[in-house]
Each structure stands twice: as C-alpha cells, then as structure tokens.
Structure 1
C-alpha cells in the first residue's frame, strides 16, 4: 500500500452518525497507516523559551488552523449549500414555488436528500409545502423568505469559523533534509528538529488522536453535509451527518503549493475549549540546524543527553552537486 491507496481508502470510508461501533471502520485505516508511515517524522522548531520548555517536558503543543500560514488550511467549503444560499432570494423564492408545484404533481424527494433527513420530518415538510402552495405567494412571504435566507447565511458563516477551529493540529514532515523546511520553520537553519516514532499512536485507533498524511489536491474538500448537519441541528432540523470522519478529512486537504512540506498531521479532537491543547509524547532524536549558535547548541545538547536522545547535526557538503542538507550523527562529549 502507498499513500494514494491510503487516500482512496480514507475517502471511501464513511462512519454514519448513528454508528455504534466506529472501531470496525477505524481499524482498517490504522492498519493502512502502519504500512505507509515512515519510521520517523520530524518537527521543526525555532529556539525560544516555549520550544525549550516543550522539549524538556516531552510535550507536543497543537495549534488551531486560524494560526497557520495557509489561509485555506481547514477552511470548509460547502459548494452546493453556498450556491443555493448565494442565489438571489427572488430566484430562490421562484424556485421554491416551482418545487411546491412539483410536489402537488407527485414529485418524489431525491434519494440524496431523503437519506439525510428523518422520514417523518420529510413527510411533514412535504405536507406543509403542499398546503402552503394552495395560495399565491405575496410580497410579505417574499420579505420573510429573504430574512430567513440572510439568517441562514450568517449561521453558515458562523459554523464555518467554529468548525475550522474545532480541531487542533501539530505538523510533522518526512523531509528532514529539506532546505526550505529548515529555512521556513527552524529560524533559517538556526533552530532544531525533533524526530518522533508515531506508530504507537496509531497502532490502536482512537477517535480523539490520529496522525495522517496531508492530501495535496487542487480541489478542496466539500463539507456540505457537515455544515448542513450543524446548521440543521442549530435551527431544530435533525439533518443526519453521513460521515463522522468529515471534519478530519477536511483538515487534511491542502493545495499542491505546499507539497514540498511532505506533511503529516497530528489531529487532536480533544480539549476543544483549551487555548493551548497538547499531549505528552517523547521524541527519539534531535537534529541541530546548520547555522545554530554554539550556546543554543550547548543548551540543547545538555537536554538531549538527559533524555537519551539520538543526536545529529545538519551541514552543507560544499563538494556536493545537489542542494540537500546533509546529516551526521553526534556522540556526547
């Protein structure tokens, strides 16, 4: 199995809202992750009090998507829902009138709609629409309809923000030798990187913590059902959530512009209200940037020695014809 196989497996796996045994769906995903996950993943760090304290305490701090450098990160799109809500209210009202007429003539609700609503709710809704269709709509109905549409738009915007920041993340990379990663995320090669073996985290699937590869795609994840479910429940309509993995899936999609990062993402659905969500998990190695200062290297080496971390330093091989950072192991002196 490779990453493409895993992506297909993930995209084809759905956990319905009423599912009583999510583990049977999660275990095949965990098994696939164990096959494709590299032995080590790397977390690049600048040197400051925050990163030193986290290293000393074996803590991995997670961040919300709003704090990332990608404005599209975890930003939900609900294409069909937003298309409907952004249509001119007069046109929507006209379409509703046509829909009512179709119901009178025996039109059946499409399967992709009926599967997300309770049958009793649809039955009552259809009866109500047919009853209201007996009279001609007037301008007061139109005004009320417009106010409802505008309120729904506001609520969709609210849930887009809330859902985007409901999970927290810690970012890792396969690319320890990447010049760009060291430059962007480790203070221009003056910082350090930590290596982690994440396989124990995924060997037993959990609904709260997972580690998955980012999916680089030119097409954003369509979270229509997720938003519709939240919106419906907010206004008292029990819209079924068809896939309980949709919030995780939406967190994994990024533009191909970021593909050089070779990112894996720890997704934490715990501590939703915690401003600094974290988990305790120890690294197994440390890598010193090629331009780290002597004093910072000395501080880090002391911590690494106390923790028994494998130590490496990055360097430039001036005789090499490529642009890759080189690695050499260090022994404690």
Structure 2
C-alpha cells in the first residue's frame, strides 16, 4: 500500500485543472519526505564511471526502459460518451422512440444496424447472420481505433520525458542483480534533502506509486473541448507503475523535454559509492579511482552467509 503522504501528493497533482497552489503544496510535501538516501545501481562502463566522476545522473526516455508499460496511460478518447451514443449523433432521421430502443438494447450496435438496414428497400433482404457480421465489423473497427489512439498517446509520452530511476533500497538482492550486472557493478548514494527549494533537480524528484496504469481521462477532458487541462498528466503517468515493481521503492527524476532532445546528465548531490560483492579487481580499481576524483567515500557490499542479506562495510582502500 502507498504511504499516506504519497496518496495526498497524487490527489494534489491529479486535479483536473491543476492550480499553481496545488503544485506548490505538492512540492513542499514531497520535500518534507525526501529520504535520507537514494541509490542508483549501475554496471561498470564508461558512461557510469563518467556519472560517478562528475556527480551526475543520466536521464533518458521511458521507451528505453525494461518495463514496456513504463509511463503508460489509459484514457477514454470519447470522455464518457459510449460508442453507440457517438454513432447515433451521426445518424440522421431517427425518431426519439427508436433511439431509446437502440440505447436500451442488449446489443445496441447490432440494434442500430438492424434499424438502418430496415430503412432500405424492402426488396433487399439481409439476414440476421449478415447483420451480425456488419455489427461485429463496426465494433472491431472502433476497438482498433481506441487501441491505436491510446498506443500513440503512450508513444508520445514515453518519448517526451527524460527519466532517471533511483531507489530507497541498498540491501535489495534483486536490484543488485538486475541493475548492477549480477552484483558486479556499483551503487551511488545521493542525498537530496540539502538542495535549495528552487533547485531544479529537487523539483524534478518524485516518488513512484505502485497502483497500476494511470487513467488520465479526467486530466485530459479539458483538452478535448479546447479548455484548460492538467498538462502535467505525463509526469503523473511516469510515477505510476505496476504493483509487480513495488519492491524497488523507487523515486524518479522526471524532466519534461522535447522528443528531439537527446538524453542528458544532471548534477546530483552524490555522497558515497558502494562496490558490488562480486565486482572484479580491475573494475574495483576503476570505480575507486573515479570516487577519489568525486571526493566521496567508498564502501563494499558484503554477503552475510546463509542469511540472504548483505551489509555495506567501509572499503580499506
């Protein structure tokens, strides 16, 4: 279950016409709850060593992540109107009695098809089986339209924001395995609590909520009518993930950005580095060298025999 303050934060940010006061209150609320430490797991390569040396974090497109649903939204492109209501709006010469009869039918689309074909010359005979096929084609076409619209929206969101994922967990065996190349990489520790309130990195940092795909219908409703709407819906979508990922206890830097801009690095308050328990001697030397350049202490993860856990111990250097 999400923390109470995270639920409050999401309620503030999910206002349909997001007022500035909600944003200010949300920023203050999350800053009061910044963790003492957030960690970034990396395998050893030129890019990660550069981030270590320069005290930066790498932000990239959600489309590059391992979760295909990352930053995805669900929404109703018709904003509450049913398929049959939309069809009836474009059907001329239909009496109100017939309209109500169609709306109340067990299969309204089929009922509309029957009504339309009943207006054709009586000499044209079309059986119920053929009418059902026509209704199925109409329904399938609409379902494909909905799927295509939502897929295109998600593609745009996943390529319009730059994201960097961090975690409150240093002691997670799966995180070390998945993101630090089977414990052979390293983790960088950051403390964002000392950043000034106006610092951009602090403003971009948000907690993740594990409640499934975000339904953005209410936030997008104004856009359909040309009115004001919550244009931070993409940021909010990036903070929603499947409950399957809740073990990661994730926070994210989410930067609204042009899809034409490349991934970028941002300076972050780096405090320490932790070597994986299975890091090679050569890579250990490389990481320690860059940690010295960054002026931060080095720790190493030590596996506790027979307990399925680990602890960080100072590196003797």
After TM superposition, the score normalised by the length of structure 2 is 0.74
Contact 1:288 1:313 in 2 (8 A): yes
The offset of 1:71, in angstroms, is 1.3
Task: Name the residue aligned to 2:178.
Answer: 184
Task: Name the residue aligned to 1:54.
Answer: 51
Question: Any idea what the Cα deviations from partners look like across 1:43-77, whole Å, max 9, x if unmatched?
Answer: 00001112112222332111211111111111110
Closer/same/farther in 2, CA of residues 238 and 183 from structure 1, 3 Å limit: same
Find the aligned partners of 1:75 and 1:37 in 2 and give their Cα distance.
Answer: 25
Find the aligned partners of 2:153 and 2:221 in 1 and give their Cα distance.
Answer: 10
The offset of 1:274, in angstroms, is 1.3
Gaps (5+ residues) in structure 2? 97-118, 121-137
The offset of 1:150, in angstroms, is 9.7
Based on CA coordinates, which of the two structures has the bigger radius of gyration? 2
Aligned residue among 72, 76, 79 for 1:75 = 72
Find the aligned partners of 1:225 and 1:207 in 2 and give their Cα distance.
Answer: 28
Contact 2:291 2:297 in 1 (8 A): yes
The offset of 1:229, in angstroms, is 5.1
Contact 1:182 1:188 in 2 (8 A): yes
SS of the residue 2:44 aligns to? coil
Contact 1:209 1:270 in 2 (8 A): no
SS of the residue 2:215 aligns to? coil
Aligned residue among 207, 213, 220 for 1:220 = 213
1:64 has 2:99 as partner: no
Aligned residue among 22, 25, 32 for 2:22 = 25
Contact 2:54 2:294 in 1 (8 A): no
Task: Name the residue aligned to 2:251.
Answer: 264
Find the aligned partners of 1:156 and 1:259 in 2 and give their Cα distance.
Answer: 25
CA RMSD of aligned residues (A): 3.5
Aligned residue among 14, 32, 36 for 2:33 = 36
Find the aligned partners of 1:208 and 1:96 in 2 and give their Cα distance.
Answer: 50
Gaps (5+ residues) in structure 1? 103-137, 140-144
Find the aligned partners of 1:208 and 1:152 in 2 and give their Cα distance.
Answer: 39
Closer/same/farther in 2, CA of residues 175 and 3 from structure 1, 3 Å limit: same
1:195 has 2:193 as partner: no
SS of the residue 1:284 aligns to? strand
Contact 1:202 1:210 in 2 (8 A): no
Closer/same/farther in 2, CA of residues 213 and 228 from structure 1, 3 Å limit: same
1:254 has 2:254 as partner: no
Find the aligned partners of 1:18 and 1:309 in 2 and give their Cα distance.
Answer: 40
Task: Name the residue aligned to 1:133.
Answer: none
Aligned residue among 288, 292, 297 for 1:301 = 288
Closer/same/farther in 2, CA of residues 315 and 171 from structure 1, 3 Å limit: same
Closer/same/farther in 2, CA of residues 18 and 227 from structure 1, 3 Å limit: closer
